[in-house]
Copies of this chain bind each other. A is one copy, B any other.
Amino acid sequence: MSSPSTLNLSFDTASRGLLPRYRAVRAETEARAAPLSPEDQQIQSMPDCSPAKWHRAHTTWFFETFVLGAEPGYQPFDPAFCYLFNSYYEAVGARHPRPARGMLTRPSAETVGRYRAHVDAAMAVLLQRDDLPGALADLVELGLHHEQQHQELLLTDIKHAFSLNPLKPAYRDTPELAAALSGRAAWVELPSGIYEAGATEDGFAFDNERPRHRHYVHSCRIATQPVTCKDYLEFMAADGYRRAEFWLSDGWATVQREGWEAPLYWTRCEDGGDWQVFRLNGEGAVNPADPVQHLSHYEASAYAAWRGRRLPTEFEWEVAAGMLGIDKMGAGSVWEWTSSAYLPYPGFRTAPGAVGEYNGKFMSGQMVLRGGSWATPKGHSRATYRNFFPPAARWQATGLRLAEDM
């Protein structure tokens, strides 16, 4: 198990007010699951997704295993859950195979609710202790941010599951992108030079955001807002999906193999007319002013190449956010693919023990996304936040922003 210093969580634990935050985060998970029936919570619509019930249980398992597990006198809710709800921690032991998460009809959604209550009760006792060790408080902190990540996945996974149902059920009444982008993107200029990137030692950050380090950035400019559906429809109208010259080789092979001709969840009306899009409130017309989302990295790159531009690096993105502030970046509606591979920062070391598996072992074959999305819980993301997915992934709320050399 990691110590506070390896997790770089050096702030004072006493003043954190962890219990109210714990309760708020846990309640948000349940609020997101509330519109879902037991059947909805059961299914895993593809191996990358997980059932909503599993998200609810796994986030609970995290607290039980890493926080309560070492507490004397704690009675696990069910010893089998250690196996059932471990996600990928090799150090914790064997676990249920990921692609078979949707096969677990027992425990039921209702039992998972009782599991959550059991752990919440034990956590409430723990979090009211005056002498809560800093290391434990750090793990609670990590567990809350971890649960917020699963809150995002719970929404994107259920969107995927619902999209497979010909009835096109609505998860809620309102679309996910309530506020559309206004006007055209402008450009922010970044002068060349050495910049610092990554999270400082103050406050919470994931280990992959650290250490803060120097990076040389070449002069360039970066758009003030993400690409819209209107922009992207121009790419589609220009035969973008059928012109190999804009595509990375792997991307072109994927387009051919999968038959992609639009973002995920877009379907053409049967009369060959306008594009429809499946949203959390059901199917409807594409809104041109929305930021385009559910793009793979391949599509984002091809779009940028067609415009004669490119994706920003994650460092350029972070510098621009530092100059403008995330809000003025128009960020937060969709995650933005960068041109940076997901790799360790100079000086990065994984923490010893199971928590060290949190991020480092995934630093291969994935690309960094920056910003945040409609699915991201409020307050979860930040300017140094590094999200990451394989380049072909499309079921997250993923769009892009343009950059160009000067």
Q: Mark A28-47, 1 if CB is under 8 A from B, else 0.
A: 00000000011111110100
> In the complex, what residues of B have CB within 8 A of residue A107's CB?
167
Complex partner residue of A108 from B37, B102, B244, B363, CB under 8 angstroms: B37
Which of A80-88, A221-229, A259-267 faces chain B? A80-88
CB contact under 8 A between A405 and B90, given known A42-B39, A42-B105: no
Which of A172-180, A201-209, A284-292, A338-346 faces chain B? A338-346
Complex partner residue of A105 from B39, B166, B244, B340, CB under 8 angstroms: B39
Indicate whether A164 reaches chain B with its CB closer than 8 angstroms: yes
Indicate whether A100 reaches chain B with its CB closer than 8 angstroms: yes
Q: Does A106 lie within 8 Å of B167, measured CB to CB?
A: yes
How many identical subunits does the complex contain? Answer: 4
Q: Does B39 lie within 8 Å of A166, measured CB to CB?
A: no
> In the complex, what residues of B have CB within 8 A of residue A237's CB?
none
> In the complex, what residues of B have CB within 8 A of residue A236's CB?
none
A362 to B249 alpha-carbon distance, docked (Å): 6
Interface residues of A (CB under 8 A from B): 37-43, 45, 53, 80, 83-84, 88, 90-91, 96, 100, 102-109, 161-162, 164-167, 169, 192, 194, 213-216, 218, 244-245, 247-252, 297-298, 301, 339-341, 343-344, 346-347, 356-357, 361-365, 391, 405
